[in-house]
Amino acid sequence: MENFKFKKSFGQNFLNDVHILENIVKESNIQDNSLIIEIGPGSGALTRHIASVAKNVLAYEIDTRLEDYLDEVLSQFHNVDIIFDDFLNRNISDDIKKYQFDNIYVVANIPYYITTPIILKLIESKINFKAITLMIQKEVGERFTAKVGSRDYSSITVFLNYYFNVKKLFLVSRNSFTPKPNVDSVVISLTKNNKEFDVLDEELFFRIVRDAFQFKRKNLRNNLKKYNLEKINDVLKKYHFDLTVRAEKLSVDIFVDIANTLARK
Ligand code: SAM
């Protein structure tokens, strides 16, 4: 790695602390006979750790300059495949077809510039991941794990809570990376939500959530004025709110109730 020119545009900050690598793997709780997806193996530091507990690792790396280096550092592991391509352009379901496994996980220190697209892609793949363990920017993690009513609670918090139990595992200082980034990091885990939210029209639900948060300082009466406000108000009353409430005060269940009420016509 000595003469390697790190590319900022690829979010290349490589982890250099072995305790953190070990901790990520420990907290990922990988069961036997598992396939692990990694996005952005970089210099392969995390890949080596996950390869030693997984049946197979499938990693996606956009930077082909890393090919020879990764071949060499991973040569002792015969259970690692790397696809040199943009993860966002892949069809994950097709890529995993050739593997046999009991459980599938995602474990990755991802490129931060595409955090939300990566998560949306994982959701849209409809693959039943046992757990998704990701290192992300600390501030973004705060938004993802924000409690209802807090400043960081936003539409992405609602979407994530709809699909997952979102847990903050531990913080990681910027000093643990080469080159040192300008931000600290956090490791989070996403596991499938046991609560089955019965959403009648998922598209409508997502639209309402997005619109409700569109102008953060405005209340629902303003942000949702293109919907049937009377019906929305009836739902809100059940939870002791009215149309003057702001979206950040509303839990996933309330958004589901609003969307379902509007979907029923
Ligand atoms: N996993 C390594 C580690 O922990 O040290 C490297 C993590 S680094 C934050 C992010 C990695 O993702 C880089 O290796 C970068 O080249 C790669 N990357 C960036 N954009 C990508 C994309 N669209 N698809 C796949 N890999 C990507």
Alpha helix locations (H) across the chain? 18-28, 45-51, 67-73, 92-95, 115-124, 138-144, 155-163, 202-212, 220-223, 229-238, 252-263
The finding on whether 12 has its CB within 6 A of some atom of ligand 1 is yes
8 Å CB contact between 256 and 250: no
Q: Identify whether residues 133 and 180 lie together within a single domain.
A: yes
- Choose one of 10, 17, 65, 81 to mutate for the ligand 1 pocket test, by most ligand atoms within 8 angstroms of C-beta: 10
Q: Where is the domain boundary, 131, 160, 192?
A: 192
The finding on whether 15 has its CB within 6 A of some atom of ligand 1 is yes
Residues 6+ apart with CB under 8 A from 202: none
31: three-class secondary structure by DSSP = coil
**Within-domain flag for 51:** yes
Q: Identify whether residues 51 and 150 lie together within a single domain.
A: yes
Q: What pLDDT does 97 receive?
A: 98
CA-to-CA distance for 239 and 252, rounded, in angstroms? 12
* pLDDT tens sequence across 6-49: 999 999 999 999 999 999 999 999 999 999 999 999 999 999 99
8 Å CB contact between 60 and 118: no
Q: What pLDDT does 190 receive?
A: 97
The finding on whether 177 has its CB within 6 A of some atom of ligand 1 is no
Match 């220190």 to its residue by tokens: 109
User: Which CATH number goes with the domain that contains 234?
Assistant: 1.10.8.100
Q: Identify whether residues 148 and 236 lie together within a single domain.
A: no
Q: Identify whether residues 162 and 258 lie together within a single domain.
A: no
Q: Which of 178, 151, 170 is nearest to 246 (CA)?
A: 151
Residue 220 has pLDDT above 80, yes or no: yes
Q: Identify whether residues 92 and 157 lie together within a single domain.
A: yes
Q: Are strands 177-178 and 34-39 parallel, antiparallel or unpaired?
A: unpaired
Q: Identify whether residues 131 and 155 lie together within a single domain.
A: yes
Q: Where is the domain boundary, 161, 192, 223?
A: 192
Q: How far is CA 51 from CA 97, 129, 183, in A?
A: 19, 17, 28
Q: Residue 2 — pLDDT band, cuts 50, 70, 90?
A: confident
Q: What pLDDT does 1 receive?
A: 78
* pLDDT tens sequence across 75-94: 999 999 999 999 999 999 99
The finding on whether 172 has its CB within 6 A of some atom of ligand 1 is no
Q: Residue 196 — pLDDT band, cuts 50, 70, 90?
A: confident
**Within-domain flag for 1:** no
The finding on whether 41 has its CB within 6 A of some atom of ligand 1 is yes
Q: Where is the domain boundary, 130, 158, 192?
A: 192
What range defines the domain where residue 225 resides? 202-264
Ligand 1 centre distance from Cα of residue 194 (Å): 31
8 Å CB contact between 54 and 29: no
Q: Identify whether residues 181 and 231 lie together within a single domain.
A: no
Q: What pLDDT does 194 receive?
A: 79
Structural domains of the chain, count = 2
pTM of the model: 0.92
**Within-domain flag for 70:** yes
Q: Identify whether residues 164 and 248 lie together within a single domain.
A: no
CA-to-CA distance for 219 and 242, rounded, in angstroms? 10
57: three-class secondary structure by DSSP = strand
Q: Which of 38, 37, 51, 43 is nearest to 72 (CA)?
A: 43
Q: What pLDDT does 3 receive?
A: 87
* pLDDT tens sequence across 51-64: 999 999 999 999 99
Q: Identify whether residues 177 and 221 lie together within a single domain.
A: no
The finding on whether 63 has its CB within 6 A of some atom of ligand 1 is yes
